[in-house]
A and B are shown apart, each in its own frame.
Chain A
Amino acid sequence: MSYCPDCGVEIGDSKRCPLCGALNPKACEEKNLVSDSIDDRTSSKEEICSAEKRTTVWEVLSVALAIAILVLGAIDLFESRRFSWSLYPVVSILFLWVELTAFLILKKRTVLRILVSVLGPPLLFVTIGYISDGQRWALGLAVPIIAIVESIIGLVYLLFEKSKQKGLNLIAYMTVAIALLCFCLEVLIDLFVNGVVVLQWSPICAIALLSIAAFFLYLHFRVFKNTDLHRIFHF
């Protein structure tokens, strides 16, 4: 009979103790189970594999992107004798690489990952603005719009995470976010183009979207929560 060395209970032929996950000493002796990890709780090995996979994917993509940059630069240099149009795709590819790095390599460094992925898009537009001599639109329009979009996405993400019951309330939050985005877009565009804010279309969008959001919130918190309909819409 096999016994778990930690719990002291008999565990028969199980590869691991069902209670603490310790390897069955007998099975270990007999079958040399070192590479036989199938238990969901022994995730360290799987995590290593997963990290390795991500690193490999990142490496392959990095090499592919580097080749693309070299090819683009070489063609541009060959054709124009200087770097001209190739700067745009090169900058875009670099931006893509930064984002890939954030998602594939910085998985465990959450703060750095968020920082890199958040700073990437404004930097891309600032760089494009610099290349195209259009720093005014980059700093005056593109960067504020990106900052607003990113803030709203962050806010919606937080709301999603905080929601105990996920249902129509999520659609409502997204609808409110779109209304807010429309409002901010009009303000930013007005300021950039005319220097003054004259709200025209965004209040109409906001009225329509906020009414829909209010209706969804009402359904979620007052109706679906308390009736069988909640089950129908459960996901």
Chain B
Amino acid sequence: MRVYQHGGSLTRQRGAEVEDWSWNSTRRRLGVLWRLTKPYRLRTFFSVFSLLAATATALAPPFLAKYALDDAINDTTGEKLVLVVAIFVAAGLANWGMNYVETYMTGWVGERILADLRKQLFGHLQKLSLGFYERNRAGVLISRMTNDVEAIDQLVTDGVTVLAQSTLTLGGTAVLLFVLDWQLALATLAVIPLMSVGTVLFRVRSARAYAAVRERLGLVTATLAEDIAGMRMVQAFVREQRATENFRAVAGRYRDANMQTVVLNALYFPFVSFLATLALAVVLGYGGHLYFAGAISLGTLFAFMLYVNNFFDPVQQLSQLYNTFLSAAAALDKIIGLLDEPPEVVDRPGARPLGRIEGEVRFEDVHFAYGLRGGELGDEVLHGIDLDVPAGTTVALVGHTGAGKSTIAKLLARFYEPTSGRIAIDGGDLNDVTQESLRHQLGIVPQEGFLFAGTVAENIAFGRPEARPEDIVRAAKTVGAHEFILRLEDGYETQLGERGSRLSLGQRQLVAFARALLADPRILILDEATSSVDIGTERTIERALRTLLADRTSFVIAHRLSTIRDADLIVVLEHGQVIEQGSHDELLARRGLYTSLYGDWAAA
């Protein structure tokens, strides 16, 4: 589906590098596309058939016009003329019908394939492990789902049709011209090489020029976006004039780049139009001679003129396709690459669902190293962690960035598997159970409380979509989020915008708490936020935390002194090892690392 987009196509950069044109990879690409059409073979057949029929019927009118004219000149009864015109109309009607079927069917199959491809991609993304997401930037993955699929979209829906139709039209016209008169056909087609050279030259240059335009328009947009976002600073520092001048310069460079395309278009399109006239002149001049010699009729001459009129569109359209084709092939390669990516953490054969757990957690000599791109292991980040956490304990993980706090949390959620050692819940090895059953009993609260676009209620019920409205409200009330939610314009039905952007940081955290609470996990993993919120919210959050942590095993990557102080067990980590563990008082009494960290503030 080619969609009219204001400037969207201009700002989007699209890489069109395809390194590998070997037969094997080409076959693989085609194979993927072929498999996608598989469920829709009948429709695909209809679409191909109607395409052939539509092209054929479109070629008929000039040919028929020849008979109409010759008939008018030679036969005054006009019976044949009525027949010819009747065929003419019939061909038109058939063309209309076939065009309808072709447009609809090709569009349908194309869009269906794309929808399937998107679904397949998304489904595959759900299966991939966290390690994959940490090695690949989110932007790149998002681009697979959007830009790359769209690049294929252009080829599948529009490109294929144009390719087939233009090629058939060109070939068909040439054949018909030869059928009409081979000598005149040869003379007329002489302009084609000229046209082709001109077109290729134009395409190459204009592709370059448009790339420059896109790049500079991107700069205009970026400058504008930043200046609007920073307008307060521009005004506070009296930079209005300089900013305006700067913007003028950026916009000016964009205009200059665009002028290139204006010049190229101004040269090319009149050139093509002149070639068309030239072809007409050839038809008339040489055709006239052939007519004098009695080799052709006036009707033939007439048909030639009409064909020449329509001859130049397919050449131009074909040349436009080249880029579409390259982009699509490049995009397809990237998508195939993603689909070939195997998930790292998979359920073992015979893995059993984890029954309802108490929440006792043991780490036994756990070592861990992150996998790198290409399957090798990186440096070890955990060196033999031993933890024994009775059910219901609140554990505070303390240590500086990179000490291994969040790695421990991720291993517990089995986002990764230990390289050696073992993690057990209620005595059973984590690797022997299914991931889904484990995570259903696990709640994770990320640092800044990541929320999804959707209503407040949907976000709270994220972990338990079947929750009743009163459960949702109860969870919100328990964490103290109910009040501010009611103040939103649609209460629980308020749309939160992308990533919950409508809410403040503190509010997002509270909603994330409610979400975790509603899921009622046996084990909770919580990454405390570091950025500060205002004092009122701070207090609510503190209270909510206490509720949330009660009666379940909790691992908190802690930043708040109160959280750490209240924890049953404080685990001090450094360089992937447990340095100290114990309660607040025990650790203070030991006068170790914890004391040195805490001591600065104990007196304050």
A binds B: no
Interface residues in chain B, defined as those with a beta carbon under 8 Å from any beta carbon in chain A: none
Interface residues in chain A, defined as those with a beta carbon under 8 Å from any beta carbon in chain B: none
